Structure 1
Amino acid sequence: MLVALKKSSSKPTPEVLTDYSRKVDFLKGLLEAEKLTSPTEKALANQFLAPGRTPTISNERTPASKTVHMQTKARGLPVDEKQSATELDAVLQHHHNLQEKLAEDMLNLARNLKNNTLAAQSIIKQDNQTLTQSMRHADLNFEKLKTESERLEQHTKKSVNWLLWLMLILVCFTFISMILFIRLFPRLR
């Protein structure tokens, strides 16, 4: 009926449609709670049901959905108080056990996190020490390379100087010897 009402040409305002949808959802939840077999489950399910929105009409004091919710809640409570107390104790004990297990799991997770953090801290310290040593070695190697580079540069300057003079002398000697050879041995035919 709600779907048909939403599709009709003379549909009510969106606020009224929303209110109707809430009431329909409440009734669906109420029917689902009635299908449960255990009185404790019925009582818990009824507590989680949310009654429809409070009315906007001033003369209506309690909405029908709230009244139905209160009646279902009262009907869901078992008559036998001992059985109710036993079931309630069992539920409370179950929740207490779950909370203890969760607390223990959280404690284990915290311990694991602490151990992982300490391990990571140790690894980072070792990496920092290795990096510092590598930087020192790199600086020493750079200084040695600079010294050797300067020495090589001086050596190449000296050898180029001697090599240049040697080549110059060789060229001059060759030139003079060619001139002498040409003067001493004129054309041979």
Structure 2
Amino acid sequence: MGMSRKEINFRRLLGQCESLALENPKMDWRLEKYITALGPILEELQSIPNKPKKDSMTEYIRRVEFLKGLMETNKLSSPSEKVVAVQLLSHAPAATSETITKEIHQKSTSQFVQELRDQLFQTDKGSEEGLRQRKQTLSSDGDLDALLKYHHSMQEKIADDMLSLTRNLKEQSMIASAIIKKDIKTVEKSTSLAEQNMSQLKVESERLEMHRKKANKCWVFLVVLMVILIFLFTVLFMRAFKKRK
């Protein structure tokens, strides 16, 4: 059975979104609208009679989730947050083996890293200008120490922000992983219970079949016995009738 019209339209829209994301990783408002429209169409695909195969549906979901994650990553304000978020996308289930998906991820990563470098360079330049202004007011003895301390504090602040963001993302990933493991255990428990019920149902079916066969045998014996009794009764009746005659 071929693909439905809705699945063909969905694949076209998905391919167009991936092409636009590859050309413009920053994502304009038009691309965001397209990616947002993929969700409802994907839900409709799961409910139509001629729905895609399980493997195809899983691939569609992963590719759509990857684009949504990339869209949310672009909305982050800090370049350091973008770098960490896009790295987590590479280890998420949405990072499929599709060539275009890998290219989008690599290009986005390079862009976010470049933004982070530009920010660090601007911070360094701003720090140097501020320190130069302070140099005019500070005494010559403590000027070098103040410069070094200020520059070092700015670098520590940036590092602390990145570590804090990484820690938060790690905690969220651990929570999500725990929820998924719990759901998997629930599914496994339900599957085991269903298998037990099936085995019990099979045993009961076999037992019922045995009872049915025994009942059939009893009816056969009963009919044979009735035939024999009728035959004997007929013979006795005929003999008795002859004697009277």
TM-score (structure 1 length as normaliser): 0.48
Q: Which structure: larger Rg?
A: 1
Structure of higher RCO (CA pairs closer than 8 Å, 6+ residues apart): 2
The structure carrying a bigger helix percent of its residues is: 2
